[in-house]
Amino acid sequence: MDASIDGNGEGARDQLIRVAIDLFAENGYAGTSIRDIAKRTGKSVSNVYHYFQNKEDLWLAIIGKTVNELPEKLRKVALSEGEPVERFVRLMKTHLAEGVNFQQETKIFFINEGSLSPQGRTSNRRIQKEILDIYVGQLRLLQSHGLIRTKNVKILAFNILGVLNWHLRWFNNEGELSAEDVHNEMIDFILYGSCGLPRDGMK
């Protein structure tokens, strides 16, 4: 039998991660104990410590495959071919799609900065800085094409990230509107706010 699949179709390690994500999102990092996680999985405390070195290691395992890889994914889009505005739209669509994919993980990422070790805190800040820089870079490019209304692209980038990141708090993928519809409205809002113009040549 496949070693990565057990009887109920989910490895013990994956189950621990899934439950930890739920609990971290509900009660925060400091507000969630190892015993809470063990209890909800039906496993024992030592089981957690068999798969993870400590609590922060479990945290990093959650962030590692999701938020940590976000800057690289966004950079790939930012450096891709295409017309500037269209690429900018693609950048935001990628960003929003990742947000829906890893909604809880990203929410956790933003909410629990204060409870981490100094290394975790630094890594957290670095990721946010990288993402900000990607947007600032794209906005400067658009600005050089005369497409941006204002001078201060950094404020603009913060505004855009506010819209994109806040969406993690309110968007419900089980709602009546499709993610694509919601995202298109958000992107229109941002494009009007940034360029004073609607999306260009997009369907």
Partner DNA sequence: AGAAGGCTAGAACGATCGTTTTAGTCACGT
Partner DNA sequence: ACGTGACTAAAACGATCGTTCTAGCCTTCT
Q: Does 9 bind DNA (CB under 7 A)?
A: no
**55 is a contact residue toward DNA (CB under 7 A):** yes
34 interacts with, out of a copy of itself, DNA, none, CB within 5 to 8 A per kind: DNA
Q: Cα–Cα distance between 120 and 127 in angstroms, integer?
A: 11
State the Cα angle at 13 between 113 and 112, rounded to 5°.
10
Residue 185's binding partner among DNA, a copy of itself, none (Cβ under 5 to 8 angstroms by kind) is: a copy of itself
Interface residue with DNA, options 5, 10, 26, 33 (CB under 7 A): 33
d(CA 28, CA 147): 41
Residue among 46, 42, 50 at smallest CA distance from 15: 42
Nearer Cβ to DNA, position 47 or 143?
47
Residue 98: which of 106, 90, 86 has the closest Cα?
Answer: 106
118 binds, among DNA, a copy of itself, none (CB under 5 to 8 A by kind): none
What is the DSSP secondary structure assignment for residue 174, as one 8-state letter?
T
Task: Work out how close the CB of 106 gets to DNA at its nearest, in angstroms, rounded to a whole number.
Answer: 21
Among a copy of itself, DNA, none, the one that 55 touches (CB under a kind-dependent 5 to 8 A) is DNA
Q: 25-39: buried (b, 16+ CB within 10 Å) or exposed (e) per residue?
A: beeebeebebebbbe
- By CB under 7 A, the residues from 11 to 30 that bind DNA are 12
CB of 139 to a copy of itself, least distance (A): 12
- Rounded-to-integer distance, Cα 68 and Cα 186, Å: 24
CB of 41 to DNA, least distance (A): 8
Give CA–CA dist 147/128, Å, rounded: 25
- Interface positions with a copy of itself (CB under 8 A): 25-31, 111-112, 114-115, 149-150, 152, 155-156, 158-159, 161-167, 170, 177, 182, 185-186, 188-190, 192-194, 196, 198
Residues that bind DNA in the complex, under the rule CB under 7 A: 12, 32-36, 42-51, 54-56
